[in-house]
Structure 1
């Protein structure tokens, strides 16, 4: 019989190396699972690639592991990683065919694994973060909502007419693509991007698909296209900025379990009556985000805002059509 009981580590802030991150079982310090799948570490030589954490300590992709009991590791984590690995072998088509809930779980596991690492480290940080996550009630409430739907990885769960996230999948043109792997996440806005070879995934993890709808035209423009890396950077800037101005937090409620039920049904509620769903789009703030994403091409904010009414874009031309690009030509040439 399926175990339909949810676990809530936020109730008692139960984050330690002695507790499974997924079910709460007491474990030994040796029982852990990689945040980034071993197949991915091997394929993209990530084991010794460095990661900077919030407390300014440096870890590597290989060192970043989280507490996980043997049961969850064998029955939930490994099957998920195998499923995603098989999808990546088929390129962008394989990732687009992958069940959206499974893709959410895979991205969510990496995001939450990084978060759990931060929460455990805050008990004994190398350098105390300026704004500790564990002392921010609003953020903890947001993470708590996210964790409830992430448990669909362990507890059989059906989302009633929603998916908790927005997922953008794009194919990258190989002509000037020098980076086989890229990864970026933003803890507070829950925006996430990862590039695996020719496939890029950009995701906002707790918006019930609202950002995908808001940026629907952008998503339709890039479907079936091969993006230059600078165009991917712009997609990331638009999605990450939309996550930054997204201002509501979905709530999730499980329906009462009846005898014989083999899964939970999760409903959702967003307060869009007393709260605006998005804060105003501010062009200067967006330009700053885009500048960050365009650093490899040395493009500055003043370049982006030469025409404030129509900021610099490498994706969309003046007529609103997709700009096909194989090679980047400097805007200063």
Structure 2
């Protein structure tokens, strides 16, 4: 049976006359959707704000677009509408969104950035006359993300465990807060706004969440100060960097649906799934996430055995009071 899953990475087909999700030919290069939701850009005045690409070039949020057929645009529109309503409603409504719909919403943004990065790389390659040199490990990850995103338009069952894990936290943010982060090499994403924050790992089979289960147990049911969420964020982003597996998935297509099953992460090397946690490197990550509060690396790792934390007190209990501005 011919595969119904579209794979643009076979021939690196990333032009503006082909639907990014299905490969359908488009009648015009104007058939596009925004990478970042229009409602979000307008709510936080993002449209003309700068967005830094991997090559250090600056573009605007609204310039990031995806070539898209009407059918796919309508399917994304339905998801966008549900997520917009929930996010405007706040933490409780976002928490109740089905994880697969949240994945489709997050995945479209992250893959949209990947798509625009690849387009920029292709333009640079053509201008220089050099051959395209793209990491096969990244192609592997991006192809899997693209396959999983096609769950939007074809019935899909993720077997045993979802490849992605999305956590929603209640956060006492300032009313005008909007903070977006991603790392496309490790496929991790966070966003903080309203009275909540979202942390998503898109291709680790939930392993990072298991890695942090102790701290997640302590914060469960608690409203976080922004500095506390940023600490969780730093832990996730650093552990995603330490994650040393390239997850594999099997795809079984039937006339009714596509079945996606993660392969075991243990391999013949018997290496731990995560590389060793280095306190200084973690401190550098945390320093970056804590920039609004001005903590330095020296302060953070002054005691290397017990780096600075705002999550737990000296007795190992959740710190309910944080006397810092929200930021």
TM-score by length of 2: 0.91
Query: C-alpha root-mean-square deviation of aligned residues, in Å?
Result: 2.2
CA contact (8 A) 2:310 2:322 kept: no
Query: Does residue 227 of the first structure (1) align with residue 224 of the second (2)?
Result: yes
For 2:161, the equivalent position in structure 1 comes to 162
Query: Does residue 301 of the first structure (1) align with residue 300 of the second (2)?
Result: no
CA contact (8 A) 1:227 1:325 kept: no
Q: CA deviation at 1:219?
A: 2.0
Q: CA deviation at 1:157?
A: 0.3
Match of 2:62, SS? Answer: coil
Query: Does residue 13 of the first structure (1) align with residue 7 of the second (2)?
Result: no
For 2:46, the equivalent position in structure 1 comes to 46
Deviations 1:256-288 (A, max 9, x none): 41xxx4221211103412253111111111111
Deviations 1:156-214 (A, max 9, x none): 1010121111222111114xx36421101111111111112111001111101111111
Structure-2 separation of matches of 1:219 and 1:24: 40
Structure-2 separation of matches of 1:133 and 1:179: 42
Deviations 1:67-121 (A, max 9, x none): 11111101x2100100101211331111111101111111111000000000011
Q: CA deviation at 1:223?
A: 2.5
Equivalent of 2:311 in 315, 321, 329:
315
Q: CA deviation at 1:43?
A: 2.0
CA contact (8 A) 2:34 2:64 kept: yes
4+ aligned runs moved over 4 Å, structure 1: none
Q: CA deviation at 1:137?
A: 1.4
> 1:1-333 alignment to 2 at 5 Å?
5-27=4-26, 28-74=28-74, 76-125=75-124, 135-174=134-173, 177=174, 179-257=176-254, 261-274=255-268, 275-328=271-324
How many residues are paired up? Answer: 318
TM-score by length of 1: 0.90
Structure-2 separation of matches of 1:319 and 1:134: 51
CA contact (8 A) 2:33 2:67 kept: yes
> Structure 1 residues 15 and 219, CA, compared in 2 at 3 Å: closer, same or farther?
same
CA contact (8 A) 2:181 2:189 kept: yes
> Structure 1 residues 276 and 19, CA, compared in 2 at 3 Å: closer, same or farther?
farther
CA contact (8 A) 2:19 2:25 kept: yes
Q: CA deviation at 1:33?
A: 0.5
Deviations 1:208-248 (A, max 9, x none): 11111111222232222221111111011011011110111
Q: CA deviation at 1:255?
A: 2.2
Q: CA deviation at 1:133?
A: 9.2
Structure-2 separation of matches of 1:246 and 1:58: 29
Match of 2:261, SS? Answer: strand
Match of 1:227, SS? Answer: coil
CA contact (8 A) 2:122 2:132 kept: no
